[in-house]
Homo-oligomer: A and B are copies of this chain.
């Protein structure tokens, strides 16, 4: 059951925070490598760099944002590798309303959560809901899906509105 959870796990007492982060990062890379191997793909430096950036920013980001975080990342390779990582279940793509798609680490590698979507600047932010509510939602969706002959895989639940820096116009 060693799948690492969120990179922001609380550190054990007496351990420096940086050390704990390094540990979770090591675990993350191991988990990613396993998933890639399962699909007969290699964990190359370019892919490692993408995963590392996504883990560090800990919020959904666009490709330009990833590129800005560390330069010299060829666009075509980046998009290709994001696609590979997506097919291997390492990251997920959020297609939303913004002009660029957003990317984040996929669900088994980070824990289940949802997003605050700014309708003004298009930024995304993670938000976690109570497990009980999640269970209720899943139960009722499953029931509705069954009635429609629909086979569910997962749900998405976003809150749209104005982020901290984007006050609504009056």
A-side interface residues toward B, CB under 8 Å?
93, 95-97, 116, 118-119, 125, 127-130, 133, 136-137, 140-141, 144-145, 148-164, 167-168
Contact = CB atoms under 8 A, between A and B. Distances in A.
Given A129-B140, A144-B127, A144-B129, A159 B163 contact: no
A60 to B, nearest CB: 14
Nearest to A147: B127
Interface secondary structure of A, over-half rule: mixed
Contact of A155 (B152, B153, B159): B159
A134 B162 CA distance: 21
A158 B157 CA distance: 6
A86 to B, nearest CB: 11
